[in-house]
Amino acid sequence: MTETAEQNVYLPKGHAVIQSYLRQLDGSPGVYRMLDAQARVLYVGKARNLRARVSSYARPGDHSPRIARMIAETASMMFLTTRTETEALLLEQNLIKQLKPRYNVLLRDDKSFPNILVSREHRFAQIKKHRGAKTEKGDYFGPFASAGAVNRTLNQLQKVFLLRNCADSVLESRTRPCLLYQIKRCSGPCVGLIDEASYAASVADAKRFLEGKTTGVQEALAAEMAAAAEAMEYERAAALRDRIRALTQVQTAQGINPRGVAEADIIALHVENGQACVQVFFIRANQNWGNHDFYPRISGEEDLAEVMEAFVGQFYDNREPPRQVIMSHALDNPDLMAAALAEKAGRKVEMLVPQRGEKAELIENAARNARESLARRMSESATQAKLLRGLAEALDLDAPPRRIEVYDNSHIMGTNAVGAMIVAGAEGLEKGQYRKFNIKGDIAPGDDFAMMKEVLTRRFERLLKEDPDRKTAAWPDLLLIDGGAGQISAVAEIMAGLGVDDVPFVGVAKGVDRDHGKEEFHRVGERPFALQRNDPVLYFIQRLRDEAHRFAIGTHRAKRAKAVGATPLDDIPGVGATRKRALLAHFGSAKAVSRAALADLKAVEGISDSIAETIYGFFHEGG
């Protein structure tokens, strides 16, 4: 790849500046970026022939209003040439997700999806939920649309196959079966209540079920139940009956289970009033493993093929594509996208737009879900916009806030202190923007003012450093602080010290008897005021404050739990989780490890001579 960038000199905007780049370009495939006068990326695009594509922008003419606006704002361009158009497509989608250009269709929800993992790390396999890189040895089944879908399936699979979900260390340390065995969710391998061969057979049945071979599993269980009844083993027959019922419940909960589609993603797009919703259904092993809705950012002027192509490219940027991608709308370049996905997957990927049959019915179902989801979201957005207008009026703001930041902190007598910031805007709570702050300063126990000072100082010093000209939407339009007059006076002092004098802030105090509905609102130099108890704006502020409190409490508890489980072993170089477990299992406690002789440390399985010397030196340095 080679790169050409605009020099740091003045150039006019629009067609003329684009025309000036043509002499630098040839017919190579590649990716281009259009930048505004402040070097912000406006648009990222790919081209089979860079010169031909850029020349289409250089000529005034038949451009959509969106493209015309983009051209008018373009002050410079950057180019990356690639070997193939497929490589250009993959690079384009990667850059769009990184740079988030204003004029591109943008997939805003980039969450990963969970899988079910049947681990092979232990002779008694563990079945569990897994999210992230597939580094652990075992068989992965997924993706599932949500953690809830995985948990429901795991819950039923435990009833059917009685596989353990406890960690290996827990399995090895138990001396009697746990509660899951008592409620018939586990076969008790930890204490030898099932032999290895029988457990392995249950694991094989579970994998067959997750692979879609449900009929054979049910037939085998039914035959086993009949044999138990014949032998008058009625308790065992009843247990097998319950397992068959649980298996049926899994299939019922999945809803549509297509016969002719073994592995596919069903992708349906619905656009209305300048907003888009994409529904994705995950079909694996002829089973429906849930659906998820996405709301890509669009201008409303794009054609449906462009929106669908942008979504598909960005969706599979960090996900493995299935064997079939079944879509509601055709792409402009389906063969190119299929080649790009096949290169990523290492096998053929089909791109289908069905017109009839079972696949068309699946698309119709997904499209209906997309239409209904978008209608609900638009209704919620209208309500949110009304609340933001009411908030602006109640708090005497110049305009409805686009970004509200709410701050709270949590601690117990000053220990494990954390600050929390949540964010809300036109689309409701923006959980991807939440931030936690581990309080680092030398602060007296319970000094909430000092904690708030540290949190706000860190937050706004970083904002001033990263975006001093306030070009991005990262700057808040309103701060809500959990506290009264004293807290607000402290905030005013902090903001004045930072030179930030144009971000309004309001304190929310519980009011009389700390009662919900009697909140008082505090602003610098003004008398406290209250809202009517039945005012929707009051409920909105209460929800924001309660969400900040929930987030702060959760963060504090997580920090406290981590501190409780911490040991001096965590600070020893080269001692990770596995070696830590080996040392604690051998000596019984971290204190015993600290007192151990060098020879005893060397005797621990998995501890080499050099690591033993490091551990001994850590506890006896200078001794």
74-132, pLDDT tens digit by residue? 999 999 999 999 999 999 999 998 899 999 999 877 678 899 999 888 889 999 999 88
* Tokens 């043509």, residue located: 22
Q: What local confidence, expressed as pLDDT, does residue 45 receive?
A: 94
Sign, Cα dihedral of 420, 425, 428, 433: negative
pLDDT for the residue 139:
92
pLDDT digits (tens, 9 = 90+) for 185-219: 899 999 999 999 989 988 888 888 888 776 666 67
Amino acid present at 585? A
Contact predicate 582/605, CB 8 Å: yes
CATH of domain 3-99: 3.40.1440.10
Q: Give the CATH fold of the 403-562 domain.
A: Nucleotidyltransferase; domain 5 (3.30.420)
Cα–Cα nearest to 271, from 486, 105, 442: 105
For the chain, give the mean pLDDT: 85
Q: Which of 161, 162, 179, 157 is nearest to 170 (CA)?
A: 179
Residue 243: phi and psi, rounded to 5, are: -70, -40
Look at residue 437 and tell me whether its pLDDT is greater than 80: yes
Interval 14-61: pLDDT, tens: 888 999 999 889 999 999 999 998 888 999 999 999 999 999 999 887
Nearest residue to 491 (alpha-carbon basis) of 402, 552, 406, 388: 406
Query: Matching CATH topology for 263-375 and 403-562?
Result: yes
The b/e string for 491-503 (b: 16+ C-beta within 10 A; e otherwise) is: beebbeebebeee
User: Nearest to residue 572, comparing CAs of 621, 528, 536?
Assistant: 621
Per CATH, domain 263-375 is 3.20.20.150: no
Per-residue pLDDT reduced to its tens digit, 229-273: 888 877 767 777 776 776 666 555 555 567 788 899 999 999 998
- Give the span between the Cα atoms of 345 and 336, in whole angstroms: 14
pLDDT per residue as tens digits for the range 311-367: 999 999 888 899 999 999 999 989 999 999 999 899 999 999 999 999 999 999 999
Residue 104 — φ and ψ, nearest 5°? -90, 150
Residues 528-565 pLDDT 10s: 999 988 889 999 999 999 999 888 888 777 766 665 55
Architecture of the domain defined by 568-620:
Orthogonal Bundle (1.10)
Q: Are 119 and 128 in contact (CB under 8 A)?
A: yes
Where exactly are the structural domains of the chain? 3-99, 115-253, 263-375, 403-562, 568-620
At 501-520, the pLDDT tens digits run 889 999 998 766 555 557 88
